[in-house]
Amino acid sequence: MSSRDDILGAIRRDRPAPLPLPDVPMFDEGRADDLLGRFTAAFTMMGGKMLDLPADGDPLAEIRARVAKAGVVISMVPEVAGNTVLDPELMPSKLENVDIAIVRAAFGVAETGSICLTERELGVNTLGYLAQHLIVLLDPADLVVNIHHAYHRPEIHAARYCVFHTGPSATADIEGVLILGAQGVRSLSILSLPRA
């Protein structure tokens, strides 16, 4: 007998009497308003930076200014250009010299301040971790109320890799002192900008 058969056999022999599976409510009553405000509050609490929208003028001005001063910048969005083009066949480890990566979120979660990225948004998955800084464009129309709604989105079923980022990489393993930039990006900035 294989280990598989042994394990399944032992479970079948000894499992407790079956118990029912409950339905999971969406828990969204009274929380569907001001999604961007809720998102911003949650996101900044997790160490993320919301970029300001100028009252008039170019909403991308701040990002363009950062790109101009940076080293290698890879942009996966049409709204703003980087200075290096991503080869999707590149070995993931080759992205270690990226200074800034710019991507668009598949969607965002207001409850937690999370943004969703998949291999489609990232091009090469390590872009979201090896880059020193990550800038994300988020269409406020792509916000869902909470995590329950997020798990009814198609991305989780369709993508090979699907990740929620909630702020930059962080650690507090040394005496509980919070450090932003553990192994992944040192900063995560979000600009609220409708899809082109």
Least distance in angstroms from the C-beta of 111 to other proteins: 7
Handedness of CA 32, 38, 42, 43 (dihedral sign): positive
Output 52 or 195, the one with its CB closest to other proteins: 52
In the complex, what is the shortest distance from the CB of residue 172 to other proteins, in angstroms, rounded to a whole number?
A: 4
Place of tokens 């971790």: 129
Nearer to other proteins, 37 or 78 (CB): 37
Least distance CB 121 / other proteins (angstroms): 14
Residue 69 half-sphere exposure, CB side, CA atoms within 13 Å? Answer: 5
Which CB atom, from 89 or from 196, has the smaller least distance to other proteins? 89
Question: For residues 193 and 141, is the Cβ–Cβ distance under 8 A?
Answer: no
Please state the closest distance from residue 196 (CB atom) to other proteins, in A: 26
Measured from the CB atom, the residue of 50 and 72 that comes closer to other proteins is: 50
- In angstroms, what CA-CA distances link 106 with 90, 111, 184? 23, 16, 20
What 3-state class would DSSP assign to 140?
helix
